[in-house]
């Protein structure tokens, strides 16, 4: 390893450890999941089922996923299709125990076709890693699959038009827990007039799946120096881990 690469890796590690310190992570969780792979995943041995591989899924499930992704990519059900480079369906383990749902793709996501790849995405990745998972072991999606202009908040009719896609993803994945990132995702699942500060940290229920609302990673980015917000998010994630262990 040459010096430049080593220095860059050390710098990345330092940033990561500082972030964990700010979160208030008292320990680094083992990279193995708290409750082992789901039986369905174990049956076919590969635990990590990628966005496109479909490994470990039944043929019917694979076909459903392919149909769903094709529909999303070609969808013109709301005006947001006009401004997108591409739709962003979501990615990760299609049999994940843990699912993260955010608001909508931003500029980087629209360009790359992947959810949470910008600065907020990097923070989310670190949070996922602090929980002992990799991005490939969870499923990450958004309520809205196409980027709203200037990253504005999606409108109610856009959310309505797009909601069948997220509902189908949840039906196929059957996660044990959903983490709702920010108010749009939280409203989608819980439809509460309360603020994020009131809702976060308390499990709600959506179609029998526990939903943990927490702050959106972009809120952490906007309040980078605020360690209290980071600590609150980590407190919420510890509750999610407890539930997964139970
Ligand atoms: S945001 Fe959803 S409903 Fe609107 S065009 Fe994109 S995929 Fe279709």
pLDDT at 7: 76
pLDDT at 19: 72
Most confident of 13-17, 49-53, 225-229: 225-229
Residue nearest to atom 2 of ligand 1 (CA): 162
Q: For the chain, which domains are there?
A: 37-245 (3.40.470.10)
Closest CA to 206 of 173, 232, 241, 158: 173
Residue length, the chain?
A: 246
Check pocket membership of 161 for ligand 1, CB cut-off 6 A: yes
The per-residue pLDDT for 66 is 96
Query: Which pair of structure tokens corresponds to residue 116?
Result: 């949470």
CA dihedral 171, 144, 207, 199 (to 10 degrees): 150
84 against 1, higher pLDDT: 84
Spatial separation of the C-alpha atoms in residues 108 and 229, rounded to whole Å = 24
Using one digit for the tens of pLDDT, what is the confidence trace for 133-190?
999 999 999 999 999 999 999 999 999 999 999 999 999 999 999 999 999 999 999 9
User: Ligand 1 mean position to 26 CA, how many Å?
Assistant: 41
Q: Report which protein residue has its CA nearest ligand 1's atom 6.
A: 146
Ligand 1 centre distance from Cα of residue 81 (Å) = 6
Per-residue pLDDT, 99: 98
pTM over 0.95: no
What's the confidence (pLDDT) of residue 29?
53
Task: Please calculate the CA angle 171-173-175 and round it to the nearest 5 degrees.
Answer: 100
Distance between CA atoms of 75 and 68, rounded to whole angstroms? 10
What value, to the nearest 5°, has the Cα angle with vertex 49 and ends 48 and 52?
A: 140
Question: 85-111, pLDDT tens digit by residue?
Answer: 999 999 999 999 999 999 999 999 999
């Amino acid at each position: 390893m040459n010096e430049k690469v080593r220095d860059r890796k050390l710098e990345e590690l330092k940033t990561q450890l500082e972030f964990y310190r700010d979160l208030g992570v008292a320990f680094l969780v083992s990279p193995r999941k708290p409750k082992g792979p789901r039986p369905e995943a174990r049956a076919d041995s590969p635990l990590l089922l990628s966005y496109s591989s479909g490994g470990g899924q039944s043929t019917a499930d694979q076909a459903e996923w392919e149909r769903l992704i094709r529909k999303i990519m070609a969808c013109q059900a709301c005006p947001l299709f006009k401004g997108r480079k591409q739709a962003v369906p979501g990615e990760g383990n299609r049999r994940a125990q843990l699912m993260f749902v955010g608001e909508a793709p931003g500029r980087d996501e629209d360009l790359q076709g992947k959810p949470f790849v910008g600065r907020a995405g990097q923070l989310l990745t670190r949070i996922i890693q602090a929980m002992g998972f990799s991005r490939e072991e969870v499923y990450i999606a958004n309520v809205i699959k196409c980027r709203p202009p200037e990253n504005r908040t999606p409108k109610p009719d856009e959310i309505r038009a797009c909601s069948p896609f997220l509902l189908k993803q949840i039906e196929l994945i059957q996660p044990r827990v959903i983490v709702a990132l920010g108010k749009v995702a939280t409203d989608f699942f819980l439809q509460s007039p309360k603020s994020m500060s009131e809702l976060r940290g308390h499990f709600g229920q959506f179609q029998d799946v526990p939903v943990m609302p927490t702050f959106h990673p972009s809120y952490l980015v906007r309040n980078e120096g605020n360690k209290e917000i980071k600590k609150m998010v980590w407190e919420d994630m510890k509750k999610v881990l407890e539930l997964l262990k139970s």
